Structure 1
Amino acid sequence: MSNAMAVYACCVVVLFFKMLAISCYQGYYRLRYLVFINAEDAAVFGRVAQPAERPEVERATQAWRNDLESIPMFVALGGLAVSLEAYAAVTVWLCLVFTLARVLHTVTYLAGKQPWRTLSYGVGTLCLIVLAGLVISRVVVGWPT
């Protein structure tokens, strides 16, 4: 297995655990305050369903949705870059930087910290654009190798 594939695979796993952590964060706040919007969930704890989520849960939901806008693109573009053997050193760095940017985005999103949330989002998006460029350059021009 190539170094690029190993790094890419580790990054995908880190992103999986990051998204799992968001789910656990939501569950923690639901259980801590016993606030549920689904009647069947509330009934398990002898509660009445609430009309809205707690603010912490809603914020985590927004972070989760943002992940769904970018992480699938990373999985596709990173996987293509690795499988097409596009410039390996650049691919490795892009995978690492994207993963770090997404972790920082989640932390700053949950904490409500600007401008860091926007900066980390921008860095991640830039990584996706460069990955797309690597894939296209490898397919169309046949470089870099």
Structure 2
Amino acid sequence: MELYTPDNPVFATYMIAAALMVLKIMGQGWMTVYRMMKSGSGLVNPEDIQKGPFNPAPDPAQLERNDYVDRSRRMHRNDLENIPAFLAIGLIYVAIAPPLWLAQVLMYGFVAARACHAVAYATRQIHEVRATFYTLGSLSVIVMAVQVLAALLI
């Protein structure tokens, strides 16, 4: 069986997890835009307050910090700091042909941890709650990376 085909259940697991994480990154960007449009604030660039179809009544106050928008922006930045590492190591991880159950635990565990992290962030949970979900996702990525290195060194 070829490693990088949907017939390989480990690669199929990666495909599902990767697609979900790409949707998460892209969706968070759209969520930020939605929040800016809904609140009419949280814009970041001076040119954003020029009159246009989406901003018919520009106001310099639209450039002021807005936590409703910034929370989504921070969530997006957090995704961009974490998900690319998963996408990279997950693809490489497939090449070492790990047991399916382990790949599923690590890959779907990462997806679940990121989803829980997003919910915790969006609902303003205490730092320790977010940190727990970050840690679980991070450990999944680290375990995959260590296993890849071990497979090469052994």
Fold match by TM threshold 0.5: yes
Contact 2:25 2:80 in 1 (8 A): no
1:82 equivalenced with 2:94 (yes/no)? yes
Q: 1:32 corresponds to which residue?
A: 38
Question: Quick one: which of 72, 92, 108 aligns to 1:60?
Answer: 72
Distance apart, 1:23 and its partner CA: 1.5
Contact in 2 for aligned 1:39/1:48 (Cα 8 Å):
no
Output the amino acid matched with 1:132.
A
Q: CA deviation at 1:78?
A: 0.8
Residue pair 2:75, 2:121 contacting (<8 A) in 1 also: yes
Structure 2: which 5+ residue stretches go unaligned?
Answer: 1-6
CA contact 2:13–2:103 (8 Å) conserved in 1: no
Q: Secondary structure at the match of 1:113?
A: coil
1:131 aligns with 2:137: no
Alignment counterpart, residue 112 of structure 2, candidates 93, 100, 105: 100
Contact 2:10 2:98 in 1 (8 A): no
Shift of 1:73: 0.9
Q: Choose 80-89 or 14-23, whichever is displaced more.
A: 80-89
* 2:43 is aligned with 1:69: no
TM-score (norm: length of structure 1): 0.87
Question: Which residue of the partner structure matches residue 3 of structure 2?
Answer: none
TM-score, normalised by the number of residues in structure 2: 0.83
The structure 1 residue matched to 2:22, chosen from 16, 20, 35, is 16
Residues 47-69 of structure 1: CA deviation (Å, up to 9, x unaligned): 12433332121111211121122
Measure the CA separation in 2 of the matches of 1:27 and 1:34: 10
Which amino acid in structure 2 is aligned with residue 99 of structure 1? Answer: V
Moved >4 Å (runs of 4+):
none
Aligned length: 141
- In structure 1, list runs of 5 or more residues that go unmatched: none
Contact 1:102 1:120 in 2 (8 A): yes
Identity among equivalent positions (%) equals: 26
Return the alpha-carbon distance in structure 2 between the equivalents of residues 108 and 59 of structure 1. 12
What amino acid is the match of 2:59?
V
